[in-house]
A and B are shown apart, each in its own frame.
Chain A
Amino acid sequence: MSLDNIVSKIEGILRSKTKQGFVGIWEDEHKMIAAAHEARKAGCTKFDAITPFPMHAVDEAIGLKRSYIPWVTFIFGTAGCLFGIWFTWWTSAVDWPIIIGGKPMMSFPAFIPVIFECTILLAALSSVGALLFICGLPKVDPPVIDPDLTSHKFAIFVPEDDTFYDTQKLEKIFKDHGATDTRKTEF
């Protein structure tokens, strides 16, 4: 396989999978949140909000459920702990037993730091991994709806496969709540 092939394959993986949909853009975040509540009432469930900074009320407004990352952390942390116990036992008491300081081969107090680190390592790496996986990161070419969305504007994007997708009704909801711009777009 040539280098070009490999590069284009990686690029293909990193390229974002976009959806067609309908977007509303606001300059006032409170109006955007009100519109998000309204869109949810209308039946949207898969829509997303794009804001330049994290906002508390948004997760509630778009009905965001808690992610499953804590479970990944817990399960991998437990796995790391068990691995640490097995690994310290296997290396120090089975495969290459050496008496150190007159302590027993399997000395928990001495191994707890190692077991602890294994727990933390697996829990942390798996959490970051799960986060990247859920968010589809890294992306090389995220579509730009509006460059101001990273500075002072707020948007709601409703994908076309949402449970409620009626551009005319959505446009009315968005405009009624003070959207400065509404249009079909890709995200």
Chain B
Amino acid sequence: MGHSHDTPVDVKDPGTLQVSSKLKTLYSVLMAIGVLAFVVTLASGNAERAWHAYLIGLFYTVSLALGGLFLTSIHHLTRAGWSVNVRRFFEAFTSYLPWAAGMAIILLIFGAGHLYEWLHKEAVESDPLLQHKASYLNQTFFWIRTIGFFGLWIYFSRVLVNGSLKQDQTGDASISERLGKVAIPCILIFALSYSFFSVDTLMSLEPHWFSTIFGVYTFAGLFQSTIAFTILVIAYLTAKGRLNGFVNENHLHDLGKFLFAFTVFWAYIAFSQYMLIWYANLPEETIFFEPRSHGTWGYVSVALILFKFIVPFLALLPQWAKRSLNHLVAVSFLILIMQFVDLYWLVYPNVGKEHNLVFGITEVFVFLGFMGLFIFAVSRFLSKHSIVAYRDPRIAESMHHHVVY
């Protein structure tokens, strides 16, 4: 519930983030080990594994960046008051999108052949089902879609973020009004494009399989992990004493509720997908769950249910849990790790023969490399701009934010 305050408050500029040498070392080391692990795996003749690890890292970080775009749009669309003080972090996430576009193009040029069966002429020729899907699953259209999606995402993030940054300079309230209108097409395009992007990059790894709820499933993970990462950013800046007076336990409470809600949402969607396929028991659908329900993969599936739903669900249930930063940070770490496991679970059964579980330093390091690049992009953005959108016309609502429920 928001307060209505008639008198506008004069909020001081909280300033930019001075990227400490520790943080610089962190993301540099992460990027270095990522590149190293990737190159070593490629050089050792394990291209398939290297590119699958690359795909996980790319999809994970693109989801975080798009989560930022989505939450910024929702904020403007609903004219939210409480989230003004945390919106700049969402905006910072979108600054990763141009980097992600570069990484995606590298994947298109060099890696896609190692990932997608339907890109190979011989495979399509001998497979009537792939021929049937060829009007969608073909190289040209795949390139157009991927590049087009990144173009749209970068365009919308630019418009939304630049407007917000301009407001920092001018304090012009009409900018918020305008961004509210931009957010409408943005959110529609996000919903469709992210869904198609998930189908293109993840679902088509097993091109015979299809699930109409797949885009919602990846969206649930996107929302959950973006909120978790936002909480970590807040924890970092709070530890540096940079958010005094801007973000308090009431903002955490609302973020915690989001985290809780989308933990439940993820489980709901995951179960909806599973139950229908399990019940109908059609071979073209069960090929997805069949390899994931035996042996080591079966344990991974159970781990997902336990640590991506049950543990965070119970951990976030009490009210105090959503108002304690330390507690939220622990849960956020768990959720971010499980988001990696979730993507690993989606991608890796396609690596190697017999659906054996392949896991090692490559997967972890390549993923960490992408995280390094993401942290680099976010900290670079925050080092150039105020860490809070302090001249937003609705900032008074956020400064005095109070949650009773």
- Which B residues between 279 and 302 are near A, CB-CB below 8 angstroms? 279, 281
Beyond A56-B404, A74-B317, A103-B279, 18 additional contacts (C-beta under 8 Å) are A54-B1, A54-B404, A56-B1, A56-B3, A56-B402, A59-B404, A66-B319, A70-B318, A70-B319, A102-B281, A109-B274, A109-B275, A109-B278, A109-B279, A110-B275, A112-B271, A112-B275, A113-B275
Find chain A residues with CB under 8 A from B402 CB: 56
B279 and A110 form a contact (CB under 8 A): yes
Find chain A residues with CB under 8 A from B1 CB: 54, 56
A147 proximal to B (CB < 8 A): no
Find chain B residues with CB under 8 A from A110 CB: 275, 279
Residues 97-111 of chain A: 1 if any B CB is under 8 Å from the residue's CB, otherwise 0? 000011100000110
Closest-by-CB residue of A relative to B278 is A109
Closest-by-CB residue of A relative to B271 is A112
Cβ contacts A to B, 9 pairs, < 8 Å: A54-B1, A54-B404, A56-B402, A56-B404, A70-B319, A102-B281, A109-B274, A110-B279, A113-B275
Find chain B residues with CB under 8 A from A112 CB: 271, 275
CA distance A109 to B277 in the complex (A): 10
Residues 262-275 of chain B: 1 if any A CB is under 8 Å from the residue's CB, otherwise 0? 00000000010011
Find chain A residues with CB under 8 A from B279 CB: 101, 103, 109-110
- Which A residues between 41 and 64 are near B, CB-CB below 8 angstroms? 54, 56, 59
**Inter-chain contact count A-B, CB under 8 Å?**
25
Find chain B residues with CB under 8 A from A74 CB: 317
Find chain A residues with CB under 8 A from B318 CB: 70
Closest-by-CB residue of A relative to B314 is A74
CA distance A141 to B355 in the complex (A): 71
The winner among A56, A66, A102, A110 for most chain B CB atoms within 10 A is: A56
CA distance A101 to B277 in the complex (A): 13
Which residues in A have some Cβ–Cβ distance to B below 8 Å? Answer: 54, 56, 59, 66, 70, 74, 101-103, 109-110, 112-113
Find chain B residues with CB under 8 A from A113 CB: 275
Closest-by-CB residue of B relative to A100 is B279
CA distance A59 to B1 in the complex (A): 15
Find chain A residues with CB under 8 A from B3 CB: 56
Find chain B residues with CB under 8 A from A66 CB: 319
Find chain A residues with CB under 8 A from B271 CB: 109, 112
The winner among A74, A101, A109 for most chain B CB atoms within 10 A is: A109
CA distance A59 to B281 in the complex (A): 54
Q: How far is the CB of B124 from chain A (nearest CB, A)?
A: 34
CA distance A109 to B3 in the complex (A): 45
Closest-by-CB residue of B relative to A64 is B404
Closest-by-CB residue of B relative to A71 is B318
CA distance A109 to B276 in the complex (A): 9
Closest-by-CB residue of A relative to B275 is A109
CA distance A89 to B4 in the complex (A): 52
Residues 293-333 of chain B: 1 if any A CB is under 8 Å from the residue's CB, otherwise 0? 00000000000000000000000011100000000000000
Residues 48-82 of chain B: 1 if any A CB is under 8 Å from the residue's CB, otherwise 0? 00000000000000000000000000000000000
Find chain A residues with CB under 8 A from B317 CB: 74
CA distance A101 to B319 in the complex (A): 43
CA distance A110 to B278 in the complex (A): 9
Q: How far is the CB of B82 from chain A (nearest CB, A)?
A: 13
CA distance A5 to B278 in the complex (A): 58
CA distance A59 to B405 in the complex (A): 12
Find chain A residues with CB under 8 A from B281 CB: 101-102
Find chain B residues with CB under 8 A from A103 CB: 279
- Which B residues between 198 and 232 are near A, CB-CB below 8 angstroms? none
Closest-by-CB residue of A relative to B318 is A70
Closest-by-CB residue of A relative to B268 is A116
Q: How far is the CB of B6 from chain A (nearest CB, A)?
A: 14
CA distance A113 to B1 in the complex (A): 32
Q: How far is the CB of B345 from chain A (nearest CB, A)?
A: 18
CA distance A56 to B318 in the complex (A): 20
CA distance A70 to B271 in the complex (A): 26
CA distance A102 to B279 in the complex (A): 10
Q: How far is the CB of A101 from chain B (nearest CB, A)?
A: 7
Find chain B residues with CB under 8 A from A56 CB: 1, 3, 402, 404
CA distance A144 to B54 in the complex (A): 70
Closest-by-CB residue of A relative to B274 is A109
CA distance A74 to B317 in the complex (A): 9
Which 10 A-B residue pairs are closest in the complex by CB-CB distance? Answer: A56-B402, A109-B278, A109-B275, A56-B404, A112-B271, A59-B404, A110-B279, A109-B274, A101-B281, A101-B279
Find chain A residues with CB under 8 A from B278 CB: 109
Q: How far is the CB of B225 from chain A (nearest CB, A)?
A: 24
Find chain B residues with CB under 8 A from A70 CB: 318-319
CA distance A70 to B316 in the complex (A): 13
- Which B residues between 14 and 49 are near A, CB-CB below 8 angstroms? none
CA distance A176 to B11 in the complex (A): 34
CA distance A101 to B317 in the complex (A): 37
- Which B residues between 156 and 209 are near A, CB-CB below 8 angstroms? none
Closest-by-CB residue of B relative to A74 is B317
